[in-house]
Amino acid sequence: MQGIEHRTYLAFVVIITIAFGWVVSPYLGPILWAVVAAIVFEPLNRRLSNFMPRWPNLSAFVTLLIIILLIIIPAILIGMSLLDELIGLYGRIQSKELDVAKMIADVQNSLPRGVSRTLQRIGLSDIEQASRRFSDGIANVIRTVATGAVNIGQSALGFVVGIGIMLYVSFFLLRDGQDLADQILRKLPLVDDHKTALAEKFTTVIRATIKGSIVVAIMQGLIGGLIFWALGVHAPLLGGVLMGFFSLLPAIGTGLVWVPVALYLLITGSIWQGLVLVFCGFFVIGMVDNLLRPILVGKDTRMPDYIVLISTLGGISILGFNGFILGPVVAALFMAAWENFGAFRNRE
């Protein structure tokens, strides 16, 4: 009889847990980023708590203000500026102030004769068609971004509520996170060694992902955008944001943005600008990753680059931007679980 009661209660726990997940599912994104913020800023909050041990609420509140000033406000401002730049770029293309057809013609006229013949043979010499495709591509990007912005504007209350929930949960996780984590670990039906290893891997991967990817992406995007601006390249903010995004791809990341721009500058006669961009691309933008990532991350994740890349891109494709964190975390927990399982089997 006791076995039936135990299994019944276990089924109830599983069902009510799934039901709770379903109830809070509209705000899983804010909750996820609250957990991320609490884990990343926990060392800062701990130092503040040591400085003011009798005021845990105040230390958590100060940490929350730092999160708002360092992350949330700059992210909103950059998003607004990027949308404004995209709309301005599209307007210049539509008004022919930025003549895409002339740009493509200049590139084609500067190419060697053999390359031009090859382009003509494969059907890529039609300037008007190429110009139309480029304009349509820019229009699609702007339309997508603008639609997202309109959706956010239309559901402004939901956006504000999401930010509010993220900050609210972050406050309590900063203040009580360690006690909550200890309670969860005590209740997990796992061997103590396994629980400790998985918990450490979870926090380590989140910190390493934020420090090693987002910080490096911000630095590469910022430096790349400033270089574009100094060289007079159109839409430097867009270029910087794209370099920051593509920096997630090992080795070739930012080169997907600055290499075509440098080639265009060199082909169209802007020699010194192209050479400066090539130099900065290799020795400034490219070196940021090599210099910063080992300092910020070290060997925290102990995951091969290809696992990080595949899990990040897979997470983004399935879960959107939230997958940027969840993808590597799932991959790291998968590897840790199998490592612990192998060690457990060897001890038997």
Q: Alpha-carbon distance 263 to 284, whole Å?
A: 18
| 197 and 330 belong to one structural domain | yes
Is a pLDDT exceeding 60 seen at residue 348? no
Report yes or no on 18 lying in a domain: no
| 38 and 173 belong to one structural domain | yes
| 135 and 242 belong to one structural domain | no
**What confidence tens digit (pLDDT) does each residue in 17-56 have?**
888 888 887 888 888 888 888 888 888 888 888 888 788 8
Q: Alpha-carbon distance 273 to 335, whole Å?
A: 46
| 93 and 197 belong to one structural domain | no
| Residue given tokens 């992406």 in the structure block | 217
Mark which of 187, 218, 236 sits at the end of a domain: 187
Quote the Cα angle for 208-211-216, to 5°.
Answer: 125
Report yes or no on 30 lying in a domain: yes
| 207 and 168 belong to one structural domain | no
Report yes or no on 96 lying in a domain: yes
Mark which of 187, 217, 240 sits at the end of a domain: 187
Q: Looking at the 3D structure of the chain, how many domains does it have?
A: 2
**What confidence tens digit (pLDDT) does each residue in 120-163 have?**
555 545 555 655 666 666 666 666 655 555 555 545 566 778 88
Report yes or no on 12 lying in a domain: no
* Percentage with pLDDT > 90 across the chain: 0
Mark which of 141, 162, 187 sits at the end of a domain: 187
| 317 and 259 belong to one structural domain | yes
| 62 and 120 belong to one structural domain | yes
Q: What is the pLDDT of residue 183?
A: 76
| 75 and 169 belong to one structural domain | yes
Q: What is the pLDDT of residue 65?
A: 92
| 244 and 145 belong to one structural domain | no
Of 56, 43, 343, nearest to 193 by C-alpha is 343
**What confidence tens digit (pLDDT) does each residue in 82-119 have?**
777 777 777 776 666 666 666 666 666 666 665 556 65
Report yes or no on 14 lying in a domain: no
Q: Where are the alpha helices (DSSP H) in 25-155?
A: 28-40, 42-51, 56-67, 73-94, 100-110, 113-121, 127-154
Domain that residue 177 falls in: 23-187
Q: Give whichever of 105-119, 167-181, 240-254 has the largest mean pLDDT.
A: 167-181
| 207 and 123 belong to one structural domain | no
Report yes or no on 348 lying in a domain: no
More confident call, 335 vs 44: 44
What is the rounded average pLDDT of the residues 207-235? 81
Whether the Cβ atoms of residue 277 and residue 255 lie closer than 8 Å to each other: no
Report yes or no on 347 lying in a domain: no
| 221 and 336 belong to one structural domain | yes
Q: What is the pLDDT of residue 220?
A: 86
Report yes or no on 8 lying in a domain: no
Q: What is the pLDDT of residue 202?
A: 73
